[in-house]
Amino acid sequence: MPILNFQKQFAEAVKNGTKKQTIRATRKYPIKKGDTLYLYTGLRTKSAEKLKEVICKDTSDITIDICKHKVVIPNIRINYLEELDSFARADGFKDWTALLSWFEKTHGLPFKGQLILW
Protein backbone atom coordinates (compact mmCIF):
# COMPACT_ATOMS: atom_id res chain seq x y z
CA MET A 1 0.00 0.00 0.00
CA PRO A 2 2.50 2.66 -1.11
CA ILE A 3 1.52 6.24 -0.37
CA LEU A 4 3.15 8.96 -2.44
CA ASN A 5 3.01 12.60 -1.39
CA PHE A 6 3.28 15.32 -4.03
CA GLN A 7 4.24 18.94 -3.59
CA LYS A 8 1.46 21.43 -4.23
CA GLN A 9 3.01 22.41 -7.56
CA PHE A 10 2.38 18.89 -8.94
CA ALA A 11 -1.05 18.21 -7.40
CA GLU A 12 -3.20 19.47 -10.27
CA ALA A 13 -1.16 17.59 -12.88
CA VAL A 14 -1.60 14.37 -10.86
CA LYS A 15 -5.34 15.00 -10.54
CA ASN A 16 -5.95 15.77 -14.21
CA GLY A 17 -3.76 12.93 -15.45
CA THR A 18 -1.03 14.92 -17.20
CA LYS A 19 1.49 13.65 -14.63
CA LYS A 20 1.63 9.90 -15.13
CA GLN A 21 4.95 9.16 -13.49
CA THR A 22 7.15 10.16 -10.61
CA ILE A 23 10.83 9.85 -9.86
CA ARG A 24 11.69 8.99 -6.27
CA ALA A 25 14.66 8.04 -4.18
CA THR A 26 14.86 4.27 -3.88
CA ARG A 27 12.85 3.00 -0.92
CA LYS A 28 13.81 0.26 1.50
CA TYR A 29 10.87 -1.68 0.02
CA PRO A 30 10.68 -0.45 -3.58
CA ILE A 31 7.33 0.00 -5.33
CA LYS A 32 6.51 -2.85 -7.72
CA LYS A 33 4.43 -3.21 -10.87
CA GLY A 34 0.84 -4.00 -9.86
CA ASP A 35 0.97 -2.16 -6.51
CA THR A 36 -1.96 0.13 -5.73
CA LEU A 37 -0.57 3.64 -5.30
CA TYR A 38 -2.30 6.18 -3.08
CA LEU A 39 -1.42 9.66 -4.33
CA TYR A 40 -1.75 12.59 -1.92
CA THR A 41 -0.71 16.18 -1.45
CA GLY A 42 -0.17 17.89 1.90
CA LEU A 43 0.32 14.72 3.94
CA ARG A 44 0.83 15.31 7.67
CA THR A 45 -0.99 18.65 7.43
CA LYS A 46 -4.59 19.78 7.94
CA SER A 47 -4.86 20.34 4.20
CA ALA A 48 -4.02 16.73 3.23
CA GLU A 49 -5.90 15.70 0.09
CA LYS A 50 -6.13 12.36 -1.69
CA LEU A 51 -5.53 13.03 -5.39
CA LYS A 52 -5.93 9.58 -6.91
CA GLU A 53 -5.70 5.86 -6.38
CA VAL A 54 -3.93 4.15 -9.29
CA ILE A 55 -2.23 0.89 -10.22
CA CYS A 56 1.52 0.98 -10.84
CA LYS A 57 2.06 0.04 -14.51
CA ASP A 58 5.83 -0.26 -14.31
CA THR A 59 8.96 0.78 -12.43
CA SER A 60 12.59 1.10 -13.34
CA ASP A 61 15.86 2.25 -11.87
CA ILE A 62 16.76 5.70 -13.17
CA THR A 63 19.79 7.98 -13.26
CA ILE A 64 19.55 11.68 -14.10
CA ASP A 65 22.91 13.18 -15.05
CA ILE A 66 23.31 16.92 -15.61
CA CYS A 67 26.90 16.69 -16.85
CA LYS A 68 25.94 14.52 -19.80
CA HIS A 69 22.37 15.85 -20.19
CA LYS A 70 20.77 12.44 -20.14
CA VAL A 71 18.36 10.13 -18.40
CA VAL A 72 19.43 6.50 -18.11
CA ILE A 73 16.89 3.78 -17.56
CA PRO A 74 18.32 0.25 -17.95
CA ASN A 75 18.55 -0.54 -21.68
CA ILE A 76 17.15 2.92 -22.57
CA ARG A 77 19.06 6.15 -22.96
CA ILE A 78 17.26 9.46 -23.47
CA ASN A 79 19.56 12.29 -24.51
CA TYR A 80 17.93 14.24 -27.36
CA LEU A 81 16.43 17.53 -26.18
CA GLU A 82 12.96 16.75 -27.62
CA GLU A 83 12.91 13.39 -25.81
CA LEU A 84 14.22 14.95 -22.59
CA ASP A 85 11.55 17.69 -22.74
CA SER A 86 8.82 15.09 -23.36
CA PHE A 87 10.09 13.00 -20.43
CA ALA A 88 10.12 16.08 -18.18
CA ARG A 89 6.55 17.04 -19.16
CA ALA A 90 5.35 13.51 -18.33
CA ASP A 91 6.74 14.13 -14.85
CA GLY A 92 4.91 17.45 -14.43
CA PHE A 93 7.68 19.86 -15.42
CA LYS A 94 7.62 22.55 -18.12
CA ASP A 95 10.74 21.14 -19.79
CA TRP A 96 14.05 19.35 -19.22
CA THR A 97 15.72 22.47 -17.81
CA ALA A 98 12.99 22.84 -15.15
CA LEU A 99 13.32 19.15 -14.19
CA LEU A 100 17.11 19.42 -13.88
CA SER A 101 16.87 22.59 -11.82
CA TRP A 102 14.33 21.02 -9.43
CA PHE A 103 16.34 17.80 -8.98
CA GLU A 104 19.59 19.69 -8.49
CA LYS A 105 18.03 21.87 -5.75
CA THR A 106 16.06 19.05 -4.13
CA HIS A 107 18.33 16.00 -4.38
CA GLY A 108 21.59 17.01 -6.02
CA LEU A 109 22.89 15.56 -9.27
CA PRO A 110 23.59 13.00 -10.51
CA PHE A 111 20.43 11.46 -9.06
CA LYS A 112 19.82 7.71 -8.81
CA GLY A 113 16.40 6.41 -7.87
CA GLN A 114 13.22 4.77 -9.10
CA LEU A 115 10.92 5.79 -11.96
CA ILE A 116 7.30 4.89 -11.14
CA LEU A 117 4.68 4.85 -13.92
CA TRP A 118 0.90 4.69 -13.55
The pLDDT of residue 68: 66
* 8 Å CB contact between 66 and 110: yes
Delineate the domains of the chain, giving CATH numbers in brackets.
3-117 (2.30.130)
DSSP state of 45: S
Residue 44 gets the label, from left (phi > 0), alpha (psi -120 to 50) or beta, of left
Model confidence, pTM: 0.90
- H or E stretch covering 9: helix 8-16
pLDDT tens sequence across 45-65: 999 999 999 999 999 999 998
Collect the ranges in the chain with pLDDT lower than 70. 68
